[in-house]
Amino acid sequence: MGPLADRQLDVVVVGAGFSGMYLLHRLRQLGFSTQVYEAGSDVGGTWYWNRYPGARCDIESMDYSYSFDPELEQEWEWTERYSTQPEILAYANHVADRLDLRAEIQFDTRVTSAVFDEATARWSVSTDQGETVSAQFVVMAVGCLSTTKQPEVPGVDTFAGPTYHTGRWPHEGVDFTGQRVGVIGTGSSGIQSIPLIAEQAAHLTVFQRTPNFSMPAKNAPLDAAFVRQRKATYRQHREEAKHSPVGVLLDIPEELAVEADPAEREARFHEGWEAGFLFGVSRTYGDLLLDPAANELASEFVRGRIRDIVDDPAVAEALSPRNHPFGTKRPCLDTGYYATFNRENVTLIDLHASPIVEITPAGVQTSDREVELDVLVFATGFDAMTGPILGVDIVGRDGQPLREKWSAGPRTYLGLATAGFPNLFTVTGPGSPSVLSNMMVSIEQHVDWITDCLVALREQGASTIEATVAAEDGWVEHVNEVASMTLMPQANSWYMGANVPGKPRVFMPYVGGVGLYRELCATVAEKNYDGFETLASLARGLAHSACRPAAGATGPSGLRAT
């Protein structure tokens, strides 16, 4: 066990983004003593850190918001179809004020370790502020995309000018006026920021390793009549979204793209493109993420739009994704991204044709030229899903570090818990739909499930709950099986951990859909937490080893059959 704990708590929550905020609210309502630790200086999580120009949501504002409080959703007014980062952060602040959350959030504090003590069945949680507390439960509400990834390029620290990572943007903003700017990375962050940086910079050079599929956001001010109508039916809308595949309402027809009449198919793809919706094109036919031939039809449609927009055919071709199926890396929603490459002051460097050799004090040296720059922007993404969890030194039963347990990839039961780590929960962790869904819907479902579980344990007088190895093995197998039925594992995506050198290649999120997943989680709870073992307070110790299943034992039947 670590240093002597100063305080005894029921729950420590790590992170005060939308997960940690709602958790705190629920735990407080239910009478659990709770401390939230947050590395940032205020609430908001991803929306606190990602302040780069153009940062905005790619799920519609009226869906990307809490549903747990009907008054809150009626009183808050979103101004645009897709909210900007400042507006979402203002919303997070509004919620924190309204629910008076800050009293139990300690800001500017990073949790460094959490060590489970078997003798007391409690976690000893330490922070970088030198504090250690004891808690019965720890909930990792650390977000999926909060550990930034720098470009692994020689000389990255030698650049003479300022460098900025999109995921750690300065609060005061950056003025690019008159500057020669380089942006490395063309994922969602690069694609959102590039058009705005181009408008300000003297010259912008975009270093692209993998072209991405992006669709126009068609963002606009929200129409008052639409808002009135949505607010009138908000409850029903939210309920339907919770049971849908991705947490927003969309109909995916069963018709197959490969069987459709070509003219009709083209028209339907166009309609999807013009919808300005993340799933606009992918929802048009039922086989796009299942059948390579169908996917190629959609991919080629998007490439056609890129050719329509970009004047220089060579640049259009370089911007056209050809190394992964459409939708297997998260598609992007943009405002003027492809058209930005028609500007005189923008240059695209295709790193496949001329890779970066090194970053020098003066700029970026590729295999065929040196690009002199005043400023460098790294839009190079995140060590997704596992990075923020493994950033904390978590040690479970038998002194096992979580980093060791997950050395070949994350292993969870339902993305909520991991065997050998009693009373530790993850919100939207690997093995759950999380990043493949409207995060707000998935966050609320996990928070409700976890807090209901804590209440059940309290009522039963149980001191610990732990996923069994067998249930976890069954779930991991199911997650892999469902992913392998789709084209998703084919891309070198951050879903696969492929963007971080040396990270195990495992498809991390659960593709089964949030509606089905919600039912599975509810069934587990209804069956008195099937696949978990709980221990009564008094019977701890001896009973523990007695009721632990042998590794490889049969998993809970209800989960594997799906």
Which residues of this chain interact with ligand N01, rule CB under 6 A?
A: 57-58, 145, 151-153, 166, 184-190, 192, 207, 209-210, 330, 351, 379-382, 435, 494, 499
Q: For residue 312, what are its two tokens?
A: 């220089």
Q: Note whether 52 and 217 are within 8 A (CB).
A: no
Q: Please state the closest distance from residue 383 (CB atom) to ligand N01, in A.
A: 10
CA 124-428-439 angle, to 5 degrees, is: 135
Distance CA 498, CA 249 (A): 30
Closest to 36 measured CA to CA, from 156, 370, 400, 27: 27
Q: Please state the closest distance from residue 371 (CB atom) to ligand N01, in A.
A: 13
Q: Which residues in 426-456 are b (16+ Cβ under 10 Å) and which e?
A: bbbbbbbbbbbbbbbbbbbbbbbbbbebbee
Q: Which is nearer to ligand N01, 475 or 495 (CB)?
A: 495
Distance CA 172, CA 176 (A): 13
Please state the separation of Cα 205 from the chain's center in Å.
28
Q: Which is nearer to ligand N01, 442 or 499 (CB)?
A: 499
Beta bridge mates, 182: 205, 376
Q: Note whether 240 and 52 are within 8 A (CB).
A: no
Q: Which is nearer to ligand N01, 5 or 198 (CB)?
A: 198
Q: Which is nearer to ligand N01, 412 or 437 (CB)?
A: 437
CA 520-525-530 angle, to 5 degrees, is: 85
Q: Note whether 415 and 406 are within 8 A (CB).
A: no
Q: Please state the closest distance from residue 379 (CB atom) to ligand N01, in A.
A: 5
Q: Which is nearer to ligand N01, 134 or 214 (CB)?
A: 214
DSSP 158-189: T-SS-EEEGGG--TT----BT-EEEEE--SHH
Please state the separation of Cα 39 from the chain's center in Å.
18
Q: Please state the closest distance from residue 310 (CB atom) to ligand N01, in A.
A: 18
Q: Which is nearer to ligand N01, 50 or 468 (CB)?
A: 50
Q: Please state the closest distance from residue 2 (CB atom) to ligand N01, in A.
A: 33
Q: Please state the closest distance from residue 484 (CB atom) to ligand N01, in A.
A: 21
Q: Please state the closest distance from residue 486 (CB atom) to ligand N01, in A.
A: 17
Q: Phi/psi of residue 431, each to 5°?
A: 95, 0
Distance spanning both ends of the chain, measured CA to CA: 41
Burial-class residue 231 by CB neighbours within 10 Å (0-12, 13-18, 19+).
Answer: middle
Q: Which is nearer to ligand N01, 259 or 368 (CB)?
A: 368
Q: Please state the closest distance from residue 476 (CB atom) to ligand N01, in A.
A: 23
Q: Please state the closest distance from residue 236 (CB atom) to ligand N01, in A.
A: 25
Its sign, for the CA torsion 62, 63, 64, 65, is positive
Q: Please state the closest distance from residue 257 (CB atom) to ligand N01, in A.
A: 24
Q: Note whether 184 and 164 are within 8 A (CB).
A: no
HSE (CB half, 13 Å, CA atoms) of 43?
27
Q: Please state the closest distance from residue 156 (CB atom) to ligand N01, in A.
A: 9
Distance CA 466, CA 423 (A): 6
Q: Please state the closest distance from residue 483 (CB atom) to ligand N01, in A.
A: 17
Q: Which is nearer to ligand N01, 58 or 473 (CB)?
A: 58
Task: Supply the DSSP symbol for 257.
Answer: G
Closest to 38 measured CA to CA, from 25, 27, 48, 28: 48
Q: Please state the closest distance from residue 152 (CB atom) to ligand N01, in A.
A: 5
Position with the least CB separation from ligand N01: 187
Distance CA 419, CA 422 (A): 7
**Residues contacting 50, CB < 8 A, separation 6+:** 85, 166, 167, 169, 189
Task: Supply the DSSP symbol for 259.
Answer: G
Q: Which is nearer to ligand N01, 210 or 423 (CB)?
A: 210
Beta bridge mates, 205: 182, 347
Q: Which is nearer to ligand N01, 43 or 379 (CB)?
A: 379
Q: For residue 562, what are its two tokens?
A: 């799906």
Q: Which is nearer to ligand N01, 211 or 474 (CB)?
A: 211
Q: Which is nearer to ligand N01, 49 or 137 (CB)?
A: 49
Q: Please state the closest distance from residue 3 (CB atom) to ligand N01, in A.
A: 36
Type of residue at 238: R
Q: Please state the closest distance from residue 351 (CB atom) to ligand N01, in A.
A: 6
CA 438-443-444 angle, to 5 degrees, is: 105
H helix count then E strand count, the chain: 18, 20
Q: Which is nearer to ligand N01, 333 or 395 (CB)?
A: 333
Q: Which is nearer to ligand N01, 111 or 435 (CB)?
A: 435
Q: Which is nearer to ligand N01, 195 or 381 (CB)?
A: 381
